[in-house]
Amino acid sequence: MNQFSTFYKKPLAMALLAAGATLFTGCDEEEKQTVSSRNWQLVWSDEFEGTAGTLPDASKWGYDLGNNGGWGNAELQSYTNDPENVSLDGNGNLVITAKKAGSSYRSARVKTQGKFSQAYGRFEARLKTPYGPGIWPAFWMLGDNIGEVGWPNCGEIDIMELKGQLPYVINGTVHGPGYSAGNAISSAYALQNDRFDLDYHIFAVEWSEDHIDFFCDGYLYKRITKSDVPGEWVYDQPFFMILNVAVGGNYVGFPTDQTPFPQKMTIDYVRVYQ
């Protein structure tokens, strides 16, 4: 998702240990993977507790609104802050709902811009994706300085994005000056005999001064380092987080008669650690 195109409940600290077995593109299947443990301290979170039908905490989340010319990706949806498109479900989740009305689509894009940002650390969300041709859910980040330098000079970290017609594959990606859009650095991770829309999964990055690690359910499937980047390494400043469900666009293609609506992304929590 680009700008012109964003453990179960409630531990306060965690250590990431060994992780489980799935297939990721371009590598052999492994039965086990050992990742060095680290003690992370929780510094920001939203557990989405609240009354069903209410908007998320306004001290933590703002909105992008409208269609903005397709967000540079030929996207079809108009983003709203209507509870029909973004609201708590009363069961500790935030639900972003993409709906179709005639030939138009409405969805939501929430962001922490101007409310919370951080450089480095672990950023994670536990969520269940939507599915279907032309459906494009994402959990991602943009550099705080986007208003001054624009995209892609601000940098973008896509923690998770998914093409709804491939509900068993996610991608982790970075965009920056000289390596954006179709030239972005990206890696796919695929489930075996499962789909990301059927249950909750934990998507995370662990970001430090010289590399970004991408995880799914604790499994490290991609490390991007300074030496991997053909342009400037711009991941040395605070980034803010975005959650959204797009409909259509150059990355995912467009809805078909087989695309069911409404489509929901259900987010159990978002947490940030140092």
Residues labelled catalytic: 156, 161
* Gap between the Cα atoms of 165 and 150, Å rounded: 31
* Gap between the Cα atoms of 8 and 89, Å rounded: 17
* Gap between the Cα atoms of 220 and 218, Å rounded: 6
Residues 120, 209: contact at Cβ < 8 Å?
yes
Residue ranges in 11-160 assigned as alpha helix (H): 146-149
| Number of Cβ within a 10 Å radius of residue 218 | 16
Neighbouring residues of 182: CB distance < 8 A, sequence distance ≥ 6? none
Which class for 27: exposed (0-12), middle (13-18), buried (19 or more C-beta within 10 A)? exposed
Residues 155, 173: contact at Cβ < 8 Å?
no
Residues 224, 48: contact at Cβ < 8 Å?
no
* Gap between the Cα atoms of 63 and 65, Å rounded: 6
| Number of Cβ within a 10 Å radius of residue 258 | 9
* Gap between the Cα atoms of 89 and 111, Å rounded: 19
Tokens of 255: 């809805």
